[in-house]
Structure 1
Amino acid sequence: MKWEKALKYTRKHKRMIAVMMAGVIGFACFYSADASVIKDAKKKKNEAQQNLDNINQQINNIQSEQSKVKSQMAAYDEQLMSLLTDMELLKTDIDNKEGEIDQAKTDLAAAQEKEQQQYADMKKRIQYMYENGDDTFLDALVESEDISDLLNRVEYVSEVYSYDRELLVAYQETVQQVADLESQLEQELADMEELKQSYDQQEASLNQVINEKKAQIADFDSQLSNAKTLASQYASTIRKQNEVIAQEQARQEKARKEAEEKAKKAAKAGTKTSNSATTASTDSGTTDSTGGSSSSNNTASTDDSDNSSSGSSSTGLTNNGLNPSYSTGVSGSSVVSYATNFVGNPYVFGGNSLTEGTDCSGFVSLVYSHFGVSLPRSSYALQSSGQAVSYENAQPGDIICYPGHVAIYMGGGRIVHASTPSSGICYGNATYRTITMVRRVL
C-alpha cells in the first residue's frame, strides 16, 4: 500500500516537472520572439544613425561652403561700397572740371576780345604814323628846336610802335595760355568721363557677382533646409526605435521575472510534496531523490551597446602737416626719372608690363619694384602703404592717391601715371582730381 502511494506521488511529481519545463520552453519561445523585435529595431536604428551621420556631415560641408561664399560676398560688398564712394567723388570732380572749363572759355573769350581790340588800335596808330610818315618826320625836323628835340620826336614814334607791338604780343600769349588751359581741362574731363565708364562697368560686374553669390547662398539655404529636415526624420526614427527597444527589454524583463517567480513557487510546492512523500514511504525504506527543481536562471541578456550612440551624433538642429622721414636709400628723383621712360606706352587694365601696357596701380608697383620696393597691386591697398604725407610736403617719388586711382608725384604739382586707355601713360596735373591722400614708401 505504501508502495502504491509512493508510486502515485512519483507520477504526480513528474507531471509537475513536465508543466514547469513546458513553461520554461514557452518563455524561451516568447523571449525568442521578443529578441527578434529588438534585433529588427536595432537594425532600423543603426541604419537611421548612419544616415543621420551622413546628413550631419553634409550639413557641415554645406555650412562651410556657405560661410566661404558669405565671406566672398562681404568682400565684394566692401569693394562695391568703395567703388560707389569713388564714383560720388568722381562725379564731384567732373562737375568741378566742367565749371573750370566754363570759366576758361569765358576767360578765353575775354582775352580774344582784348587781343582783337589791341590789334585794331595798333593798326590805326600804325596806319596814321606810317601813312603820314614823311610829313611827320618833316614836321619833326622843322618844328624841333634842336637835334635833341628832333631825336626825341622820332624816338616817340618808334616807342609808340614798339609799345603797341609788345602789348599785342602779350595779349596773344594770354590767349594761347588760356586756350592751352582749356584744352588741358577738356582732356582731363575726357579722362574722367572715361574713368566713369570704367567705374560703371565695374559696378555692373560687382553687382552681377554679388547677385550670383546671393543665389548661391539661397541655394545653400535650401540645401540646408532639406538636409535638416532629413536629419530631423532620422533623429525621430532613432528615438522611436530606442523606445521600441526599451519597451521590449522592459517586457522581457517583466516576463523573465514572472517566469522565475512561477518556477520558484512550483519548486517550493514540489519540495513540500516531496517531503510528504518521503515521510509516507519511510516504511518501505525508500527515499525520493527527485528534490525540487532548481530555478532556471536563464536571464535574457540584451546587448544594447548601440544605445549610447543615439545621443552621440548631433542632428544639426540642437547642437595733416605730415612729413615723415625716408626709410630707404632710394632717391625719389630716380624713381620719377625711371617712370618717365614709359610715357606714351599704353594703358591696359590688369596689365603687368611697363612697355606692353598696365593700369594705374600696376604702373606704380612695377616702377617701385625696379628699385626693390615691393608694393600692393591694387589702388585700394596702395592707399594704406608706407606713411601718410601732407600734400604741401609731398616730394618727388611719393604716391598721390585719388578715388580708385594712383600716380607718382614728380614735384612742382605734376604727376606721371597710367591714366586711361585713351591717354595711356602720361604726365598730368596733380590736383586735376580730388586727392584722398599722399603716401611715402621710400
Structure 2
Amino acid sequence: MKKRLLATVLAAVMVISGTQIAGATSLSQARSQKNQAQNKLDSVNSQIADIESQQSSLQSEIDKVDSDLVDVLVSLDLISDQIDQKKVELAQAESDLAAAKEKEAEQYDAMKNRIRYMYENGDSSFLDAFVGAQSFADVLNKVENFSKVYDYDRNLLVEYQNTKTEVANLVTQVEEEKKDLEENQATYQEQQKNLEEMKAQKSSQMSDFENQLAQAQSLAAQYKQTVAEQNAIIAQKLAEAQTVKTSTAGVSNVANNNSSSGSKSGSGSGSAVASYGCQFVGNPYVWGGESLTNGADCSGFVKSVYGHFGVSLPHSSGALTGVGRAVSTSDMQPGDIVCYSGHVAIYIGGGQIVHASSPSTGIKIGPVNYGKSIIAVRRIF
C-alpha cells in the first residue's frame, strides 16, 4: 500500500515539474516580449517628446511670423491712408497750379494789351497830356500815372509767376512724396507676400508634425497595450507558478509523511485580482486619483482594482492595513494587499507586486521588498 502511494506521489511530482518547465518557458517569452514592447514604447515616447518639442519651437516661429505680419498689415493700412491723402493734396495742388497758370496768362495778356495800346497811341497820348495839361506839374503827374500803370502790371505779372512757381514746386514735392509712399507700399506688400508664404510653409510643417505625432501616439498605444497584455500574462504565470509551488510542497509532504495535508493553494479570485491589476501597468500616477487609466495613487489603485470585483475598500493606505484578514509574509498569495509605511500594493506572486509607485514611474511591477518594510499583508478572498 505504501509503495503504491509512493508511486502515485512520484508521478504527481513529475507532472507538476513538467508543468513548471512549460510555465517557465511561457513566462520567459512573456517577459521577453514585454521588454521588447517596453523598449519600443520608450523609443516612441522619446520620438513623441522630440516631435512635441519641435512643434513647440515651430509654433513660436509661427507666432513670430504672425506678429510680423500684423505689423506689416498695420503699416500697409497707414501707408494706404497716407497715399490717399497725398492724392487729395496732389489734386488740389494741380488745380491750384492750373489756376495760377490761368491767372498768369490773363495778367500777361492784359499787360501786353496795355503796352500795345500805349505804344500805338504813345505820341498822341503824350501830346494830348502835354497840351491839355494845366501846368508843367500836371504834365509830370500824367506821365507818372502812365509809369505806375506799367509798374503795376509788371509787378502783378511777377507775383502770378512766383505763385505759379511755388505751386509747381508743391506739385513736384507732393508727387515725390506720393512716389516714396508707393515705393514703401510695394516694399511692405513684398514683405506681406514673403511672410504669408513663410507662414503657409510653417503651417504645412506643423501639419506634418501633427501627422507624425498621431502615428507615434498610435504606435505608443499599441506598444502600451502589448506591455499591459504581457504584464497580465506574467502575473498569471507567476500566480500559476505560486500555485504549482504550493502544490509541490503539498505533494512532498504527502511523500514524507504519508499524509494528504499540505500548504493552501492561492485563491482563484486573488489571482484574477492580480491579473486584472497588471493590465494597467504603464498608466500614470495621480495623487488622490482612482482612475486605472487616467491616473491613481497607491491606495486609489488598490481600491479601484478590488472595486472591479465588487469589493469596496477605503482610499487610504493606513486604513487598508485593517481590511480583510491578516496573513504572514511567508504565506502571501496573488491578490493579497501588501501594506508598507505610507504605501500599499497588490501581490502578484513570484516575489512581485503591482502598484501605483510614483509620479515619475506610474503604475508598475516591482519586487515586493523594494526598499520599504512590510507592515501588514491583508487577504480579501
| Band the TM-score falls in, shorter-chain normalisation | 0.5 to 0.7
Q: CA deviation at 1:199?
A: 2.1
- Between 1:138-147 and 1:244-253, the stretch displaced more is 138-147
SS at match of 2:134: coil
- What is the CA deviation profile of residues 130-162 of structure 1, one whole-angstrom value per residue up to 9, with x for unaligned ones? 322233333333232333222222111111111
Match in the other structure for 2:159: 170
Q: CA deviation at 1:40?
A: 0.8
Change (3 A) 1:308 1:24: farther
The runs of 5 or more residues in structure 1 that have no matched partner are: 1-11, 272-296, 316-442
Q: Work out which structure has the larger RCO, using CA pairs closer than 8 Å and 6 or more positions apart in sequence.
A: 1
Q: State yes or no: 1:97 paired with 2:86.
A: yes
Match in the other structure for 2:240: 251
Change (3 A) 1:311 1:86: closer
The runs of 5 or more residues in structure 2 that have no matched partner are: 261-330, 334-348, 364-381
User: What is the correspondence of 1:28-427 to structure 2 with a 5 Å cutoff?
Assistant: 28-269=17-258, 302=350
CA contact 2:111–2:154 (8 Å) conserved in 1: yes
Distance 1:72 1:94 in 2: 32
Q: CA deviation at 1:122?
A: 0.7
Change (3 A) 1:153 1:314: farther
CA contact 2:37–2:226 (8 Å) conserved in 1: yes
CA contact 1:114–1:171 (8 Å) conserved in 2: yes
Q: CA deviation at 1:129?
A: 1.8
Distance 1:50 1:57 in 2: 11
- TM-score normalised to structure 2 length: 0.66
- Between 1:176-185 and 1:189-198, the stretch displaced more is 189-198
SS at match of 2:102: helix
- TM-score normalised to structure 1 length: 0.58
Distance 1:41 1:311 in 2: 26
Q: CA deviation at 1:15?
A: 5.4
Distance 1:248 1:311 in 2: 28
Distance 2:362 2:116 in 1: 107
Change (3 A) 1:245 1:236: same
Q: CA deviation at 1:194?
A: 2.0
- Percent identity reads 39
The one-letter code matched in structure 1 to 2:120 is E
The one-letter code matched in structure 2 to 1:91 is S
- What is the CA deviation profile of residues 78-116 of structure 1, one whole-angstrom value per residue up to 9, with x for unaligned ones? 211221222122222222211111111211111111111
CA contact 1:53–1:313 (8 Å) conserved in 2: no
